[in-house]
Amino acid sequence: MSVPIRCEIFHECETATGVENMAIDEVLLERAISERMGHFRLYQWSAPTITLGYFQDYQPETIPEEMKSLDVVRRLTGGGAILHHHELTYSCSLPSENRWQESPSDLYSEIHQVIRDALARQGFACEFRGVSKSFPAGEPFLCYSRGDERDLVHGSHKVVGSAQRRRKGAILQHGSILIGRSQFAPQFPGVHELGLKGQDLNVSELCEEIVQVMFSLFENCLKTAQLPVALRPSVDALVQDKYRYAGRRFESSKGSRSGL
């Protein structure tokens, strides 16, 4: 049975490095577990970065040649690798006993619907894929080559995808909105190329649209500008002890550095 939860929604779309972004999201997940405080956060990246899915096999040679110069970090959620370049990322962390606990996958659809509506108000139309893709030879390396029924697509092109991780009953969900084509993966057009030819998507307005509608999903929302200062030491510790070791998967501490 779900109970009302508090949820902070960060209305400033901050830009940070890959290791900082992943450390912040882990701290927020731990806060959801320990303090029963949920969070919704939109952010961007200070440099093109590849995030590897938590359970994704990794060897340096698996990185496509055109991406070998980019920063690499492993995120807590599953799925394939994501190239974060001309892209907007969200994270949502919820404590246990939230209303999605019996069917966590419904959270994909509900957040994607918020994003779909926000994009429509910006003049870009997309739809739910509806049918998952299958890959007999194994999953492609990059997430945008994969296909889940809850993805948002424009024609045959994926523009929004998400992945989850559950820890002690809490949920962390990451999602990616492909704003524009990257020169490091030109096979994936974004919103700019697919539906807004000749004009730029206003990312700041899109963020505000998404944040405003997110209030309807949670029972007790608090709007705040940025990450609380009190959480910064925990973020800095994770950056140093865990996330700065590119591509590696850790269970809890730098003592796990050998696990890939």
Chain-centroid distance, C-alpha 208: 17
Dihedral over Cα of 108, 111, 112, 113: its sign: positive
Q: Please state, in angstroms and rounded to a whole number, the distance separating the CA atoms of residues 8 and 6.
A: 7
What residue type is 92 in one-letter code? Answer: C
207 labelled catalytic: no
Query: Which of these is catalytic: 13, 92, 126, 143?
Result: 143
* Sign of CA pseudo-dihedral 30, 35, 38, 39: negative
234: enclosing H helix or E strand: helix 232-238
- Cα separation, 102 vs 111, in Å, equals 17
Which residues are 128's β-sheet partners? 152
Catalytic residues: 143
